[in-house]
Chain A
Amino acid sequence: MRGVFLQRSGLVCALGADLPAALACLEAGGVTPARLGTPPQAWPCFTIADASAAAPDWYARARRLIRAAVAQCGEVDRRAPLFLASCSLDVGAFEDATTGPGATHDCLVLADAVRAWLDWQGPVHWVSTACTSSHNALLAAADGIRAGAFTHALVLGVELHNRFSSAGFGALQLLDVRRPRPLAADRAGLVLGEAVAALWLGDASARWRLAGGANVVSGADPAGASAAAVAAMCRLALAQAGLTPADIGLIKLQAAGSPANDATELAGLRAVFATLPALTTLKAEIGHTLGASGAAELALLCACLESGVWPRPRAAAEPALDAAFASRPPEAPARRYLLANILGFGGGHSTLVVEDCA
Chain B
Amino acid sequence: MSQWQILGRWLAAPPADWRDRLVARLGSRPRRLGPWCELGLFGALECLADAGETRLPEAALVSVASLHGPDRALRDALAQLREDGLPLPLGFLQSQPNQLLAHFCAATGWQGDARTLGTRAPLDALRIATQGAADELLLGWVDEDGKHGHVACSRWLRLRRQPADASAAPPCPGAPDLPAWLGLDAFRL
Contact = CB atoms under 8 A, between A and B. Distances in A.
A89 B44 CA distance: 26
Main secondary structure of the interface of A (DSSP, over half): mixed
Interface residues of B, number: 54
B75 A100 contact: yes
Interface stretch (A19-27, A139-147, A201-209, A272-280): A139-147
A149 interface: yes
Interface string A77-102: 00000000001000100111010110
A219 interface: yes
B116 interface: yes
A96 B85 CA distance: 11
Main secondary structure of the interface of B (DSSP, over half): mixed
B111 A218 contact: yes
A167 B82 CA distance: 11
- Best-buried of A41, A108, A240 by chain B (most CB within 10 Å): A108
B67 A108 contact: yes
A222 interface: yes
Contacts, number: 170
Interface string A328-358: 0000000000000000111110000000000
A117 interface: no
Contacts of B121: 123
Contacts of A216: 111-113
Contact of A108 (B87, B93, B102, B120): B120
Interface stretch (A5-13, A126-134, A260-268): A126-134
Interface string B15-46: 00000000000000000100000000000000
Interface of A: 41, 87, 91, 94-96, 98, 100-101, 103-104, 106-108, 111-112, 123-130, 136, 139-140, 143-144, 147, 149, 163-164, 167-173, 214-220, 222-223, 228-229, 232, 240, 344-348
15 contacts: A106-B71, A125-B124, A128-B69, A128-B117, A140-B117, A144-B128, A164-B87, A167-B81, A167-B92, A169-B92, A216-B113, A222-B93, A346-B96, A346-B102, A347-B102
Which are the 3 A-B pairs with shortest beta-carbon distances?
A219-B106, A219-B105, A168-B92
